[in-house]
Chain A
Amino acid sequence: MYQYIYDHYLGNKKYDKVLAKIEARLIDLGIQGKINKITLLKNFEVYVNEIVAKQPEALVVVGNDETVAKILNIIAEKEVVLGIIPIGEPNTIAGYFGIPKEEAACEVVSARKIKEVDLGKINGQFFMSAVEVFGEGATVICNNKFEIKALKDTEKIGIYNLCFETGSHQIFNPQDGQLELISAPKEQKGFWGFKSKKQLTESLIKIKKAKILSSPATSSVLVDGHKIMKTPAEVTLGEKKLRVIVGKERKF
């Protein structure tokens, strides 16, 4: 049986119509299941663990990136298939996995194309996309072998499992068992503050694990673009891969 988890913000009346359409489509496709609505009164972790214990055919998150991020730390390394029905914004994770919004996502869930993807781990917590540390002086020890120091003109050092930005490097494969370290330089300004034609080179290094050191300039890191954690921080890949239902338009 499929288990659906609705985020608490979907309790707002403005989502009633879209939820009704989704539920009708799920019935049409024969994948209707138990709907579990998150409320602020329930202990989220206990609640989700109870649902996972029922060994559902798939655990389908109905919500946005934050809903997926919340659930990730509970279901990572468990025997469960994750589905996503994106409603609202931001929904970059679903977009990366090729899942269209709202009602159209039901087709993808029904098609059940499952891919195994790596998950990043920082100080024991899981992350999907990236850990970023900003500014000059940031120091990262990689694979216990070498140390990377950010010099002047470094905007940030990012350690990526997969990347949602459409930058110059389209090589982040969340199935390759590796993390990619990128150091992004500051944008160089030219005459009258316009963007200069001559830009500094980005760094790209494939690594297995990293330790972000603490310094007065880098006392915290940004995880998946919204969570702040303290340094020093150990970054690795999770031992088990996450099984996700993906669409044809996925970016890997």
Chain B
Amino acid sequence: MSKDFKDVETIIGSTVKIEGDFKGEGDIIVEGIVEGTLKTRRNLKVGEAAKIKAGVEASNAYVAGEILGDLKIAESLELTPSAKVTGDVEAKILTVATGAQINGQIKMGGEMTVEKVEEKEEKKK
């Protein structure tokens, strides 16, 4: 997964906290704290020390930290042994390492893109 992070557009470092709607077009690496919503059309990497209290949407995600919120991943989601997710998880392909925690419903295999996820949300509004 880390090989895919060549064009990192955003890094949220370990000494900052972000609150609000964060939307990116490129790859995002999170090492700090995020509260609100976090969306990208590309890849997301959540570091071991990261704490996310937000709804998360991405094309692919590699999670080693903590997420409190729903996860909608259009393609592949990888959870490492240190990952802790509290919320519903939606992904086409899911890899869960021994020790990773998921507390929520899991939905897999559906055809879904980040754009479609956003469209659905808009229709709800």
Contact = CB atoms under 8 A, between A and B. Distances in A.
Interface of A: 145-154, 157, 183, 185-186, 200-206
B23 A145 contact: yes
A203 B23 CA distance: 15
A183 B15 CA distance: 8
A89 B12 CA distance: 36
Contacts of B13: 183, 185, 200-204
Contact of B11 (A145, A146, A186, A204): A204
Interface of B: 8-23, 29, 31-33, 36, 47
Given A146-B36, A206-B9, A200 B20 contact: no
Interface of A, secondary structure class, is strand
B16 A150 contact: yes
B19 A146 contact: yes
A210 to B, nearest CB: 13
Given A183-B16, A201-B13, A203-B11, 19 more contacts: A145-B20, A145-B22, A146-B18, A146-B19, A146-B20, A146-B22, A148-B16, A149-B18, A151-B16, A151-B17, A153-B14, A157-B16, A183-B15, A200-B15, A201-B11, A201-B29, A201-B32, A201-B47, A204-B13
16 contacts: A146-B18, A146-B19, A146-B21, A147-B20, A148-B18, A151-B33, A153-B15, A183-B16, A186-B15, A200-B13, A201-B32, A202-B13, A203-B15, A203-B32, A204-B8, A205-B10
